[in-house]
Structure 1
Amino acid sequence: MKDGKQTDISREPEQVKAFRDTWKDGIHSYLTYLRDRLTAMRDLLTESGSIFVQIGDEHVHRVRAVLDEVFGENNFVSNLVFKKTGGQSSSAIANVNDFILWYAKDRARLKSRPLYNKKAPGDEGATNYEWLEEASGVRRPMNAREKVGEIPLPSGCKIMQPYPMFSDGPSQRDRPLMWRGAEFKPSSNAHWKTHGDGLQRVVKADRFVAQGKTLRFVNYLADYEVTPLLNIWTDTQTSGFGADRVYIVQTLPKVVERCILMSTDPGDLVLDPTCGSGTTAYVAEQRGRRWITTDTSRVALALARTRLMSARYPWYLLADSREGRAKEAALTQTVPPETLVHNDIRQGFVYERVPHITLKSIANNPLIDDIWEKWRTVLEPLRTELNAATGEAWEEWQIPRALPATAPPAAVDLHARWWEARIARQREIDASIAARADVEYLYDKPYTDPARVRVAGPFTVESLSPHRVLPASEEELIETAEAADGNRSAADADLAGHDFAAIVMDYLKAEGVKQQAKGDRITFESIVPWPGNFIGAAATFIEGENGPERRAAILIGPEYGTVGRQDLVAAAREAVDNRFDVLIACAFNFDAHSSELDKLGSLTILTLLWQKSDFSIPKGQFP
């Protein structure tokens, strides 16, 4: 919406008229409309719930001010910026992004699930990964051509960064560390990030590298191969070959998916009050969320219905299922529980996960000591024999990966056996580190069963009658004040203008009732209110051209909702008791069994199903 421009609306006739009435004051009308609906959304939200509002750069500042007013500025969570197109002509600079304003019902109780992107050297969160550990164990900086990708990295290498081992400030616990024949210690204004046994475990894990006189921690890219998703998304743009869009303002599925995944769990309820093409419902259904979506456009609802009914989704493994428990047990190397499974989606899915290995997790891992001692009894005798065979005095860290060609055959065999045991020890230590490290769950990557697919679950499409909006002009406000003071008489009131039953009676008196036979119509001679329990009006009409006069009881359905068979039966009995000839039931919707009831004794029952477009109602009665 751009300040009341008619080019921004759909071409559906009822929407064109609604647009002209609704946005007569441009952005002021829009902000009023938005404030009212945001207030309703706030009241519907659970205490841990979130609301996401997408808006362009023209009005993002205005909409944020409205959200601050409705939700409170303390409940602001983030301003998400996402790229929507690859390029756009402009006289100055191209604008290629939209905004999503994220607010919480209660910031302190907000439900939030972190999402992650794959980490790559040079990207956000991975700018310092410029070293390599080659398959031979040699650690070195990348050269200039390797950094820019001109040449491939060596086969089997690990990307790493030397990470500082010192923190600011002195500590009384600090002691010098002997590592590979050299002494290292912090400066007078720094201290080790770990002490004692922790430092020794880092040594045993082979996680140190020296840069000059400074000892640094070896931090592999694979130790934490993801980086948290930030509030600027540049991977969401579309082009001529991107996702098909039905509406210009349609939100991209990836954007909606991230919003849902960040703020809900499987089984939670998602509401989209502007259905559009049904993207929110589509994504919520795929991700195992319950959903409600509404729209004033019949075209939007038809598109969303078709989209949902024709969709095929992956089959995600439920945590509360036998397959899910077996998968979880395999991932965690534990025994699956023997309790009953209920296939409860609210227990979530089984997600992929990545280890989060840190210096702290290595320093606090006592299994490293046990593994080191177990392999020391194997490696030390081999090293002693190897030194004797070669005439060297190698320490463990000095033994080369390859012996010179002149080495005696006995040394070659000992050397191979030593390195085989050394590599096995390192693998066991690395596995222990990964098993004891924290993990981060990838909520956007649940495990799937490729042998099964899923379709949308049962859902209903319901229509509601338009609600009345009482106008609030200056004249009407004065009349309301006078009525409150007791200065307004019944003769001054035009109650029929605001009474739904009166509107229905006026419509029936003017339009009559069309019957199944073509051209056959009931035209009422009179129609008046009736003080019954179910019958709201009584009418008279002439049967045929010169037939007898008949009395009709009229059941007026609710302004919204459905008339059920039990309502028809109750109204029919009331009509029979009061000697009516015909019962005419008027409603915006009937339940499935109502159409089966067309007679009760001698009483004929007619059902009149209205549509919104059937009414010619004075301006101000319905929006």
Structure 2
Amino acid sequence: MHHVREIMDEVFESANFISIISFRKTTGQSGTLLSDTNDYLIWHAKNKSSVKFRHLFLPRVGFGWVNYDYVALPGGIHRKMTKEEKANPEFLPKGSRIYRRSPLTSASSSETTSMVVEFDGNKYLPGKGGWKTNQRGFANLLAANRLEAYGTTLSYRRYSDDFPFFPVSNAWTDTASGGYGVDKIYVVQTNLRVIERCLLMTTDPGDLVFDLTCGSGTTAYVAEQWGRRWITCDTSRVATTLAKQRLMTASFDYYKLARPSEGVGSGFEYKTVPHVTLKSIANNEPPTQETLYDQPLKDVRKVRVTGPFTAEAVPSLHAKSLTDIEKENQGSGQSVARSGETSRQAMWRDELLKTGVRAKGGRKLEFVRVEPMGGTRWIQCEAETRDDIPQKVLVVFGPEHAPLEQRMVENAWQEARAFKPDILLFCAFQFDEEAAKDIDELKPEVAGMQLLKVQMNADLFTDDLKKKRASNDSFWLIGQPDVEVRQIREGEDKGKYQVEVMGFDYYNPKNGNVESGGIKNITMWQLDTNYDERSLFPSQVFFLMAGEKDGWATLAKNLKAEIDLEKVEYFSGTVSLPFAKGDNSKIAVKIVDDRGIESLRVISL
């Protein structure tokens, strides 16, 4: 932790350090030495003097509070509680009020707080310091029946119901996740209460929250719940898929807005509680109203679901040396896609040999050998399938921090033709849309070989995540979308276009054929009717899960509402609504199959 603190001090400057917060992560843990039951948060600000902070309060539970040993009985009698009464306050008569004797003296003094105070026929002095209030304040305390003498000094009766809350400190002992708490869906999932407290302390509704290690999406989930905007990212496809699923199936309470016409940025209506203090009584002022930021008022007639969000894959750009750029040039003066050998490719070869490539229905494309290939520029290794009649496979690995680009497909295919393989395998973390389209459209009868796309699991970037994974699915075959575009020839939509998704075409490693998977394997598809070749902006989205036991029924159950299945049919079809040709004269169809694998088909109109 101290090393993290050093880095944070260097980034934000030590003067902007605010606090180290300890929080309980488990109720108990065995070990040979002391059990480690706490984790820590290190809090810095960009500028400590202007940091946003909202006080949070926790309710005081029971009456076993420090020094709250006295009781005011309904008849006006004040006495110390017995051990039995303190252990079981219900033994006290109805209408009793528990209190403590709080000192009225202060270390500092002035002329107005050093006077003699008379009470019950006795005179009292503040001692070396002074009183916490003046003569008029004592008169108000006396009128409120708050004064009590003990020994040679006066005290102030602070009742347990004056403010039955205490402020949250930097020691959070109520965050333990052991026992029967929320089920974890990710190995390093953070307790909801920890993230919730951080957000409520430091942000307001409408503020933007950034979490650069998404995991199971806890930060995004909590931000969505409390009306904060959010951005989250992760290198693991598993993590982002879990987060998307978690957000899309969540439902939340609907909180009342402070000013509905201004939206969530105006904040919520919160529960407030009076905070009776010595100052408020002594000055005869109404008590301060404390805002409970973790208790917004609810509209029980409504329920919320997650708002719109986008999931984007952004390649990590990195600078290349002039030598590397020069090596990639082929005399035309243009730099080819970032396609050179990387330090990880030896590990990827070993992983490919070990795990094979997962295909549809649990089938696998397995190898008896995967070896480096010398004398080639675009093809990294040669493999042989584990079949009765082995097939020769050439493997192309995409760049480590960028999409596999269209020119790389063309060059690899031209290079592979001399070796006459049965299969040319393109393995990548990301595929450029045009590159994916070329791989799909280069049929064996034209290419002389079967071209296949393989999605590489992003956990391969991180050795420790790869080791901790429950499955060995590091490589997945990507299905090819089967899409038909037609122009409407008659009716009121004449001249417009319509898209029909026919299904996914999958490569079957058992027989070597490409087979249609049909629409039953499609979970969702999206249509961008004016694709700009940069970003996908779907104007039509369809969820093929409208059966009684499918996703819409699950959503209805979560919302405790009824779903009109007839209306849902609009969202569950395979045929798009009619649309006019856009300025870019291109459309993009993105399909997600039942494994969570995404595939994009770009079509020119």
Cα distance between partner residues in 1 of 2:403 and 2:95 = 80
Q: 1:597 to 1:206 in 2, by over 3 A?
A: closer
Matched, 1:266 2:185: no
Choose between structure 1 and 2: higher strand proportion: 2
Deviation at 1:517, TM superposition (A): 9.3
Matched, 1:362 2:212: no
Matched, 1:496 2:336: yes
Q: 1:87 to 1:521 in 2, by over 3 A?
A: farther
Q: 1:452 to 1:140 in 2, by over 3 A?
A: same
Q: Secondary structure at the match of 1:79?
A: strand
Q: 1:298 to 1:461 in 2, by over 3 A?
A: farther
Which one of the candidate residues 217, 220, 233 is aligned to 2:159? 220
Q: Secondary structure at the match of 1:112?
A: coil
Cα distance between partner residues in 1 of 2:89 and 2:97 = 18
Asked whether the equivalents of residues 265 and 348 of structure 1 are also in contact (C-alpha less than 8 Å), the reply is yes
Deviation at 1:490, TM superposition (A): 11
Which one of the candidate residues 507, 513, 522 is aligned to 2:409? 507
Cα distance between partner residues in 1 of 2:272 and 2:291 = 4
Partner of 1:350: 269
Partner of 1:179: 119
Partner of 2:84: 145
Q: 1:519 to 1:607 in 2, by over 3 A?
A: farther
Cα distance between partner residues in 2 of 1:211 and 1:501 = 79
Matched, 1:442 2:292: yes
Partner of 2:313: 464
Deviation at 1:253, TM superposition (A): 0.6
Asked whether the equivalents of residues 109 and 131 of structure 2 are also in contact (C-alpha less than 8 Å), the reply is no
Alignment of 1:132-211 (within 5 A): 132-149=71-88, 152-168=91-107, 171-173=110-112, 174-180=114-120, 182-187=121-126, 189-211=128-150
- TM-score, structure 1 as length reference: 0.56
Asked whether the equivalents of residues 527 and 588 of structure 2 are also in contact (C-alpha less than 8 Å), the reply is no
Partner AA of 1:506 in structure 2? M
Partner of 2:195: 256
Q: 1:608 to 1:200 in 2, by over 3 A?
A: closer
Partner AA of 1:496 in structure 2? V
Partner AA of 1:96 in structure 2? T
Partner AA of 1:299 in structure 2? V
Partner of 2:347: none
Cα distance between partner residues in 1 of 2:152 and 2:403 = 90
Matched, 1:119 2:38: no
Q: Secondary structure at the match of 2:162?
A: helix
Alignment of 1:320-331 (within 5 A): 320-321=259-260
- TM-score, structure 2 as length reference: 0.57
Cα distance between partner residues in 2 of 1:136 and 1:233 = 40
Cα distance between partner residues in 2 of 1:598 and 1:172 = 85
Asked whether the equivalents of residues 588 and 610 of structure 1 are also in contact (C-alpha less than 8 Å), the reply is no
Deviation at 1:453, TM superposition (A): 1.9
Matched, 1:240 2:179: yes
Larger relative contact order, structure 1 or 2 (CA cutoff 8 Å, min sep 6): 1
Partner AA of 1:447 in structure 2? L
Q: 1:444 to 1:606 in 2, by over 3 A?
A: closer
Matched, 1:96 2:37: yes
Which one of the candidate residues 271, 292, 295 is aligned to 2:231? 292
The number of residues matched between the two structures is: 396
Asked whether the equivalents of residues 514 and 522 of structure 1 are also in contact (C-alpha less than 8 Å), the reply is no
Cα distance between partner residues in 1 of 2:537 and 2:38 = 46
Asked whether the equivalents of residues 121 and 128 of structure 1 are also in contact (C-alpha less than 8 Å), the reply is no
Q: Secondary structure at the match of 2:336?
A: helix
Asked whether the equivalents of residues 236 and 252 of structure 1 are also in contact (C-alpha less than 8 Å), the reply is yes
Partner AA of 2:297 in structure 1? Y
Q: 1:112 to 1:187 in 2, by over 3 A?
A: closer
Q: 1:144 to 1:607 in 2, by over 3 A?
A: closer
Cα distance between partner residues in 2 of 1:96 and 1:107 = 30
Q: 1:592 to 1:188 in 2, by over 3 A?
A: closer
Deviation at 1:266, TM superposition (A): 0.7
The percentage of aligned residue pairs carrying the same residue is: 36
Cα distance between partner residues in 2 of 1:465 and 1:104 = 28
Q: Secondary structure at the match of 1:63?
A: helix
Matched, 1:87 2:28: yes
Partner of 2:303: 453
Cα distance between partner residues in 2 of 1:277 and 1:92 = 31
Q: Secondary structure at the match of 1:223?
A: coil
Deviation at 1:265, TM superposition (A): 0.3
Partner of 1:63: 4
Cα distance between partner residues in 2 of 1:293 and 1:312 = 19
**Residues 532-591 of structure 1, C-alpha deviations (whole Å, 9 max, x = no match):** xxxxxxxxxxxxxxxxxxxxxxxxxxxxxx9986676xxxxxxxxxxxxxxxxx778575
Cα distance between partner residues in 1 of 2:446 and 2:91 = 83
Asked whether the equivalents of residues 117 and 125 of structure 2 are also in contact (C-alpha less than 8 Å), the reply is no
Q: 1:156 to 1:606 in 2, by over 3 A?
A: closer
Partner AA of 2:248 in structure 1? M
Q: Secondary structure at the match of 2:142?
A: helix
Partner of 2:15: 74
Partner AA of 2:269 in structure 1? V
Deviation at 1:438, TM superposition (A): 1.0
**RMSD over equivalenced CA pairs, Å:** 4.2
Q: Which runs of 5+ in 2 are unaligned?
A: 340-401, 414-434, 450-525, 541-575, 599-605
Q: Which runs of 5+ in 1 are unaligned?
A: 1-59, 322-341, 366-432, 484-488, 525-561, 569-585, 615-623
Q: Secondary structure at the match of 1:114?
A: coil
Asked whether the equivalents of residues 354 and 440 of structure 1 are also in contact (C-alpha less than 8 Å), the reply is yes
Asked whether the equivalents of residues 530 and 586 of structure 2 are also in contact (C-alpha less than 8 Å), the reply is no
